Amino acid sequence: MQQGISKYAKPLILIIGLLCLCTVGITLLNNFSDLDFASLTNNRFLPLAILLQIIASYLFLLAWKLILLYQSNLKLGIPEIIGHIGVTLLGKYIPGKIWGLVGRAYLLKGNGIGFNTSANLLLLDQVLTFYSGILISILFLSFIYLKFWSLGFILAGLYSLIYLKSIYTRITAGLFKIITKTLGQSDEVIENLPAGHIEPAAFYWGFYTYLMHWCATAFALSLFVYPLIADNYLANTVLITAAIPAAMLSGFIALWAPGGIGVRELVIVAILSLRLPLEVASFIAIAYRIICIGIDLILGSMALVYLSKKKSANVS
């Protein structure tokens, strides 16, 4: 039991620390800026923002469910998908960023998914997450600063998606060959599903689901802070939609930063400051961090409860 507690001590301590930092940041902004925080409590769009955030979180779960279904024919219910994603969300607070993915791979092993297929599934999931996020950021920034060229960026994005699909197999096949040789595995270890093989349905359904997830997440945040950006809501929402995926992906790449702390907020403030006052951009960055921590705690707790019940059922 002690081992089980200590395993999750580090991420939970970091999450509590981040909440404390966010509280300090909000307090400082409230004391030393002209922001009207009271208006947020009277925000008539707050219930809609909460509903949309729930939908965005569901889309995040659904993307992984669809990838598993179409790529490996593994049909899992939402509770088990929450187990996979919740463990990953808790793991990202441990420096190194890979521990969440390692935990998800371990859970896949429990479903009879071997090394090559697990690596293929996780790689596909990460590629689709990053590519959809980068594409959203570029497109929405172009809507503001390159209006005339926006259609061209949309067409280029669609073409690049098709091109990525065409070269994905070659890229991953090469990577898996290197991994296999590095680990000293023989060809017999390679499973029926070739490393690098990708089902079109898994690729495109995963991509479009993540695309909707990014948009729903940003729109929910814009509704949450509506009183602060109401003077030019549409343009500010477009800017927030560009900032959120760029910040999330930057935070993930920063291997030294547990949960992307500091890096994510810096990217949000940098992008939003292009149009918004610094204090408003800072508040939105901190508010988004609090929302993310809340989601991580909820899904992480649900995952631990589910996995604990599953373990008890297997023992009995």
pLDDT band per the 50, 70, 90 thresholds, residue 29: low
Q: What is the mean pLDDT of residues 20-45?
A: 69
| Cα–Cα distance, 260 to 14 (Å, whole number) | 11
Dump pLDDT digits (tens) for 124-167.
898 899 889 988 988 888 877 766 666 666 677 677 777 777 77
| Cβ–Cβ < 8 Å for 265, 254 | no
Provide the pLDDT for residue 313.
64
Would you call 117 exposed, middle or buried from its count of C-beta atoms within 10 A (0-12, 13-18, 19+)?
buried
Residue 58 belongs to what H/E stretch?
Answer: helix 46-72
Segment 104-122, tens digit of pLDDT: 887 888 778 877 778 788 8
Residue among 40, 52, 51, 34 at smallest CA distance from 287: 40
pTM given for the model: 0.82
- Split at pLDDT 50, 70, 90, the class of 198 is confident
Cβ-Cβ contacts under 8 Å for 173 (sequence gap 6 or more): 194, 195, 196
